[in-house]
Amino acid sequence: MDERAAGPDEPARAGVDASVESVFREERGRLLASLSRRFGDLDLAEEVASEAIEAALVHWPVDGVPSRPGAWLLTTARRRAVDRLRRDRTYAARLAVLQVEADRADPAPAADADGELPDERLQLFFTCAHPALPAEDRGALTLRCLAGLTTPEVARAYLVPTATMAQRIVRAKKKIREARIPFRVPGVDELPARLPGVLQVLYSIFTEGYAASSGPTLQRSDLAEEAIRLARILRRLLPAEREPAGLLGLMLLIHARRAARTDAAGALVLLADQDRGRWDRAMIEEGRELVRVALTGGPPGRYGVQAAIAALHDEAADLTTTDWPQVVALYDVLFALTPSPIVALNRAVAVAMRDGPEAGLVLLDALADEPRLRGHHPYPAARAELLYRCGRFAEAAVAYREALEQVGTDPERAHLSRGLAAASAAAGAGSGSSAGSDSDSAAGTRDG
């Protein structure tokens, strides 16, 4: 029998409900992973997990929170699942086939010496990010199953109606079931091909939190923090892999600037103007250590290199003392690893800071016909700001208007509107003077 904490008195009962919620949020991924691995069905796992938490809400306020709440929830959920399968023999037979297939592919681990079940969340990471699932479904399913977010919370994360997100999650789980996607960790030969998909899902979640694609705010820290929490879990589960360390380091080094990226009114504060004293130094130090791990022991990976670039920004006292030659060199390495137009855009930004705006514009103009940059507002925004710095104000105004048509968040829209007003005024006055403070938003000063 579980040892239990002393039963709460009446004034503390409300706190028990909060404890249950906290435990469930923390244990949800582990619980779903174990249940999915045991029964081979994510729908069943979610249903009995919900029933277990409902039972906890009834029993724990009376009996006290168990000393091992996760084990209590898992035992209760397993019993509910067995009861369901006994009532539905056809369903049970189908799940039995799936379980046999899963065991052949990856035998279930045993409990440890303390009776605690092993952490099987790694299997769930790879299942949620399986390449057979549509890309838009992978992040949603990861947040639902591993981060413990409710469907309405996931819907808010992706800025879609709850009903739409519910359909997306149902579709993903149906695909897992019908395609018989196994709940297992890929073998050594598969891991290099599969791990990048998991990392990309987590990075996409973080990016939406750090730089929201639309809405009234520049960043959504709760979403970024969920991505960091999941990246920490993945790092613990794959300690020998360097790229999870690189991804976590990248997230921390960028998220460390969150307090300085907006002012008290929520307006965008450019990297050049940020109060670096407000950056989270403990987070930066942790990120720097992870960069060292990611770049040691073999060829660098894309997240390790990106983290190294972020570290250079965080280590500099200000924009002018940033080691721009090294930033450009790292972008060269990154482009060799992932030759994408986004990397080329960011490299052009760094070249502009190293060699001047004209040099950056040459590189940006070479990307003008790149289809993957259409609708990507940082591209015309970077051109606008460099054109302004070059004194080509009329062209800058055109580029600012293009960026305004594409931008999604209110703080960025306000910033670009100020740039447009300055460029239009300068063009109308025929001024050839150098840009004022707004010109400091040139590509190289954009945060991240």
For the chain, 448 residues long, give each residue's pLDDT as a single digit of tens.
444 444 445 545 556 666 667 777 777 788 888 898 888 888 889 899 989 988 988 988 888 888 888 889 999 999 999 888 888 766 666 555 545 544 444 444 444 433 343 578 888 899 999 999 998 899 999 988 888 788 998 888 777 899 999 999 999 999 998 888 888 888 878 888 899 999 999 999 999 899 988 889 999 888 899 999 999 999 999 999 999 999 999 999 999 999 999 999 999 999 999 999 999 999 999 999 999 999 999 999 999 999 999 999 999 999 999 999 999 999 999 999 999 999 999 999 999 999 999 999 999 999 999 999 999 999 999 999 999 999 999 999 999 999 999 999 999 999 999 999 999 999 988 644 443 333 333 333 556 5
Q: Are 126 and 185 in contact (CB under 8 A)?
A: yes
Q: Give ∠ CA 357-252-346 in degrees, rounded to 5.
A: 20
192 Cβ contact partners less than 8 Å away, ≥ 6 residues apart: none
Q: What is the pLDDT of residue 92?
A: 60
Q: Is residue 422 exposed (0-12), middle (13-18) or buried (19+ Cβ within 10 Å)?
A: buried
Write down how long the chain is: 448
Residue 13 has phi, psi (to 5 degrees) of: -60, -40
Return the structure tokens found at 399: 């580029």
Q: What is the pLDDT of residue 115?
A: 36
- The rounded distance, in Å, linking the Cα atoms of 119 and 27 is 10
Q: Of 190, 170, 168, which Cα lies nearest the Cα of 178?
A: 170
pTM of the entire predicted model: 0.81
Domain boundaries, the chain: 343-445
Q: What is the pLDDT of residue 15?
A: 60
Cα 396 to Cα 336, 352, 410, 425, distances in angstroms: 31, 16, 21, 11
- The rounded distance, in Å, linking the Cα atoms of 171 and 215 is 27
Q: What is the pLDDT of residue 199?
A: 96
Residue 66 pairs in a beta bridge with 4
Q: Of 251, 35, 47, which Cα lies nearest the Cα of 123?
A: 35
CATH of domain 343-445: 1.25.40
- The rounded distance, in Å, linking the Cα atoms of 53 and 73 is 7
- The rounded distance, in Å, linking the Cα atoms of 232 and 228 is 6
Q: What is the pLDDT of residue 14?
A: 56
- The rounded distance, in Å, linking the Cα atoms of 306 and 446 is 15
Return the structure tokens found at 169: 């999650």
